[in-house]
């Protein structure tokens, strides 16, 4: 293979990487905005349903207390003079009314519980949709995995893991990874393997939130993981530790 051909292939690969980076950046941004909006809407709705449920539970307890008092009054009324029969009938009617109100409230609580379950299922469905959309990109990511040893995993609805191989010259299949949270406006860099120093993780996080360029973030993270691997082999600590 000639030098000129190798350079052309390298330039083509760089263009593909740039297009891939732009595509992933747009996808991450869109999904992050959508997830934040869904989480906020879900949280508001869930809080409203919980408030309604608490209120209805309180009303049921009040009705149960009233029912208990009504039963006590009935017992006293039956033990009293027959002339108070009218009062007894009123109390029986009141007890029946309270039972109907209690049944209605229990029905409403059941409907609220179904709504809460439905909201939770919708959130889970959103998580599955994001994971499925990421899986659709796997064929395109395969060619980059061959050169950079990169794989993207969806851990949670708002948590991603970037897994690298081809780092350790003694074991090219050994996985190195770093986690990235997209649950807020600002990215949050989480755990890593091998573990990167907390101070360096913070610098990596701040830099990423400033430039918002995924390729630059992945390049820096990969270099840091390689340095951690080399220090492990040499038995040395991170600078400044």
Q: 142 or 190: whose pLDDT is higher?
A: 190
The answer for 149, left when phi > 0, alpha when psi is -120 to 50, beta otherwise, is: left
Looking at residue 85, its pLDDT comes to 74
Q: What share of the chain is helix, strand, coil (3-state, %, to 5)?
A: 75, 10, 15
Domain ranges of the chain: 35-134, 137-234
What number is the average pLDDT over the span 214-229?
A: 91
Per-residue burial over 39-63, b = 16 or more CB atoms within 10 Å of its CB, e = otherwise: beeeeeeeeebeeebeebeeebeeb
Residue 119's pLDDT band, with cuts at 50, 70 and 90, is: very low
Closest alpha carbon to 98 in 72, 54, 52, 62: 62
Q: pLDDT at residue 48 above 80?
A: yes
For the cut 50, the answer to whether the pLDDT of residue 32 exceeds it is yes
Model pTM above 0.85: no
Q: What is the pLDDT of residue 166?
A: 87
Q: Which of 67-81, 87-101, 141-155, 181-195 has the lowest mean pLDDT?
A: 141-155
- Residue 120: pLDDT over 70: no
Of the candidate ranges 9-13, 66-70, 116-120, 152-156, the one whose mean pLDDT is the lowest: 116-120
The better pLDDT of the pair 237, 32 is held by: 32
pLDDT of residue 141: 53
Domain 137-234, second-level architecture: 2-Layer Sandwich (3.30)
pLDDT at 133 over 50: no
- Give the pLDDT confidence score for residue 134 in this predicted structure: 43
The pLDDT of residue 43 = 85
Output the pLDDT for position 129: 39
- Contact status, residue 228 vs residue 217, Cβ threshold 8 Å: no
Are 144 and 17 spatial neighbours (Cβ–Cβ below 8 Å)? yes
When comparing pLDDT for 207 and 107, which is higher?
Answer: 207
């Amino acid at each position: 293979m000639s030098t000129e051909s190798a350079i052309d292939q390298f330039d083509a690969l760089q263009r593909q990487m740039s297009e891939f980076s732009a595509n992933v950046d747009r996808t991450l941004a869109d999904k992050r905005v959508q997830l934040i909006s869904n989480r906020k809407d879900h949280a508001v709705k869930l809080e409203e349903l919980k408030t309604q449920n608490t209120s209805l539970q309180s009303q049921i307890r009040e009705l149960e207390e009233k029912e208990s008092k009504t039963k006590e009054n009935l017992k006293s009324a039956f033990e009293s003079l027959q002339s108070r029969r009218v009062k007894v009938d009123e109390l029986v009617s009141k007890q029946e009314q309270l039972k109907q109100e209690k049944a209605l409230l229990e029905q409403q609580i059941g409907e609220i519980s179904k709504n809460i379950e439905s909201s939770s299922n919708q959130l889970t469905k959103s998580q599955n949709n994001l994971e499925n959309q990421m899986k659709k990109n796997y064929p395109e990511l395969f060619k980059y995995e061959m050169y950079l040893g990169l794989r993207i995993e969806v851990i949670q609805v708002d948590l991603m893991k970037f897994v690298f191989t081809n780092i350790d010259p003694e074991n090219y299949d050994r996985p190195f990874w770093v986690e990235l949270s997209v649950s807020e406006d600002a990215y949050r860099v989480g755990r890593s393997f091998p573990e990167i120093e907390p101070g360096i993780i913070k610098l990596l996080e701040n830099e990423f939130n400033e430039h918002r360029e995924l390729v630059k973030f992945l390049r820096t993270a990969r270099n840091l993981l390689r340095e951690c691997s080399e220090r492990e082999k040499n038995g040395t600590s991170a600078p400044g530790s």
